[in-house]
Chain A
Amino acid sequence: MADTLIDVKDLRIHFFTDEGVVRAVGGVDLAITRGKTLALVGESGCGKSVACRALLNIVHRPGKIVSGEIIFHRMFHQSSGSGSDASVDIAELNPKGREIRDIRGKEIAMIFQEPMTSFSSMYTIGNQIMENILLHTNLSKQEARILTIELLDKVGIPKPSRLIDEYPFRLSGGMRQRAMIAMALSCSPTLLIADEPTTALDVTTQANILDLMQNLQKQYEMTLLFITHDLGVVAEIADEVAVMYLGKIIEKSDVFTLFNSPAHPYTQALLKSVPKIAMTREALDPIKGMVPNPYSRPSGCPFHPRCPKAFAACKTIVPKTTSLGLHHTVQCLLYEDVTERQATEALS
């Protein structure tokens, strides 16, 4: 596919703890389309944050990418000649090496969840934004400062030429998240990863930040990977949605299909558990049970202990990715020919 920016194939990330191995990401296939917004949705602890950190190869110990590929199709659209063969496997790069460090902050930038603690309180926000510019460009300190002020202005920080010299703890959460966005944009990245950027903010600020991100995405022609557990946010900004459960992408489709005809029982349950204004008297319909203990994952389909539609085969057979239409895939035995699977597995 020519318009794929990042192609994740069978990515597995394990955490080697004293209590045992946690398979945080257990074989994820995911293609991110260039210029689109992909929302990665899931409950806390489903592995979505770890998976997106793998795109920058910053999974920290005791976590480790054990297998899989993350093919990053870079595009050099200038005179640099053959731009066709510029893809690189991020999972293979040395996490401390030069190559991946040149990608971080420059081609793939990231916005984090906690605007309170994601900036260091020891340095001004200007210092920390300029650091990114000076690291990846040949601009002088003066030029970097001017660019930083422009960026701060662009993300809607008032009096940017004064606030550039302000320490993070003197700014509000919303302002800090804006500064964080300015920092991420400073080298015009092709992919912006946002790990729950609005979760720690109040609702009004949330809406402002979402608007800002959508505008900037158009301006910079960026691809956006948006990690969230908030389906309202998904509906607002996503083009495509991938639903993650226990380290697997169990359903992926465009945003309309997902909200109109969700295929996986988990997605259906997730949508049902969202409160709607129209539904005044009915009680909410939460998903029953809890996310299983990470040290003892269920056999077969990971969702079967909580699934209302589970049947006998779900306990033993791990569902494969089934295509339900153009751009709509699901991992669920309801959509597979189970008898055929059982037959082939019995043979092997």
Chain B
Amino acid sequence: MLTYILRRLLYMIPVMFIISILVFLTIQLPPGDPITKMIENQRLQQGRVFSEKDIEMMQARFGYGDPLPVQYTKWIGNIVLRGDFGYSFYKREEAGKVIADLMPLTIAISLGSFIFTWIVALPIGVLSAVRQYSIADYVFTFIGFIGLAIPNFLLALILLVLGLTTFHTSFTGLFSSAEIQQAPWSLAKVWDLLKHAWVPMVVIGTGGTAGLIRIMRANLLDELHKPYVETARAKGLSEMRLLVKYPLRHAMNPFVSGFAYLLPYLVAGEAIVAIVMNLPTEGPTLLNSLLNLDVYLGGGILLLISFMTLISTLLSDILLAWLDPRIRYGN
């Protein structure tokens, strides 16, 4: 098991290398260069004009004018060796700091929606399978398909409107006010976060929940009539213990592997929700950075998300191996 994990960790190094090249090429793709764009912006907005010397200094820092491989080496070298993600021209902050501020909340929201998805989808999926074609099965199937069919951003908008008209509260953001968001972490801040975070968690989780219910139902239905279930029943196990110990355990694999797609799903797919709900997460920031040629911030976010996807894939693989001896033994 340990060698398996070590081997997987080693594999991650070349994968990460390839990803970093791809990310670098991606942020180089848009026409124009970020320094020229920033200088132009500054001149238009604040009338500030940089001297030739300043421009040269900036170009030297980020290696503009150098050939691409040299630029890449500088960029990745700074990240790996010094944790320096470069400068966000748009936010006028170190890119690393912007990312670090957003990452904990992003992870919290993803984990929260994931847990919501599990808590809802698992029991409903099991129920729909065990009581196949019952009224409960049809009702949940119906709700599930509706959940699957409604785009998340629409659900978010509906909730926002409902919140404002019926409950007279705003469901946007993750905190009550900007002051609280800026304040250092405290119990009061966490409580404030929890009060706001459930809405985006539910919104983001709904689509996934519906899908997962269908997966759970189908998997469990496959397992329920396998011979090993009959063997267990012939032993005299009660139906509940039998269900949990045998078919449910066999049907769990897709649930666990879903864990790996958590982060990219959230950041890429749910950016629209985050924009609608004004969430301080990586998704909207990534979009803005790409729109504004804020290459170092965008590149940094892409790189980190790829890295965390690799980590969560590894985690879910370890979990799968722990759960299923057939994977452990390589069958």
Interface residues in chain A, defined as those with a beta carbon under 8 Å from any beta carbon in chain B: 56, 58, 60, 96, 100-106, 109-110, 112-114, 117-123, 128, 131-132, 135-136, 167, 169-170, 180, 183
Contacts and interface: CB of A to CB of B under 8 A. Distances in A.
Contacts of B153: none
B22 interface: no
Contacts of A60: 225, 230
Contacts of B329: 167, 169-170
Interface in B306-325: 323-325
A167 B324 CA distance: 11
A106 B236 contact: yes
Interface string B230-249: 11111111110000011001
B236 A119 contact: no
A56 B234 contact: yes
B250 A101 contact: no
A104 B236 contact: yes
B226 interface: yes
Interface residues of B, number: 24
Given A96-B239, A118-B228, 16 more contacts: A103-B236, A110-B231, A110-B234, A112-B230, A112-B231, A117-B226, A119-B228, A120-B228, A120-B250, A128-B231, A131-B237, A132-B236, A135-B235, A135-B237, A180-B231, A183-B235
B230 A58 contact: yes
A104 B246 contact: no
B53 interface: no
Chain B contact residues: helix, strand, loop or mixed: helix
Contacts of A113: 227
B324 A105 contact: no
B322 to A, nearest CB: 11
Interface in B149-201: none
Nearest to B252: A122
B237 to A, nearest CB: 7
Contacts of B249: 120, 122
A168 to B, nearest CB: 9
B235 A131 contact: yes
A56 B237 CA distance: 12
B236 A136 contact: yes
B325 A105 contact: no
B246 A101 contact: no
B164 to A, nearest CB: 50
Contacts of B226: 117
**8 tightest Cβ-Cβ pairs between the two chains A and B:** A104-B236, A105-B235, A101-B236, A105-B236, A120-B228, A117-B227, A110-B234, A118-B227
A179 B326 CA distance: 19
Contact of A104 (B235, B323, B325): B235
Interface centre among B225, B233, B246, B329 (most CB of A within 10 A): B233
B331 interface: yes
Contact of A121 (B232, B236, B326): B326
Between A120, A128, A132, A169, the greatest number of chain B beta carbons within 10 A of the residue's beta carbon is seen for A120
Nearest to A116: B227
Contacts of A100: 236
B6 to A, nearest CB: 23
B234 A101 contact: no
Nearest to A133: B235
Contact of A122 (B236, B324, B331): B324
Contacts of A103: 236
B235 A132 contact: yes
Contact of A169 (B236, B239, B326): B326
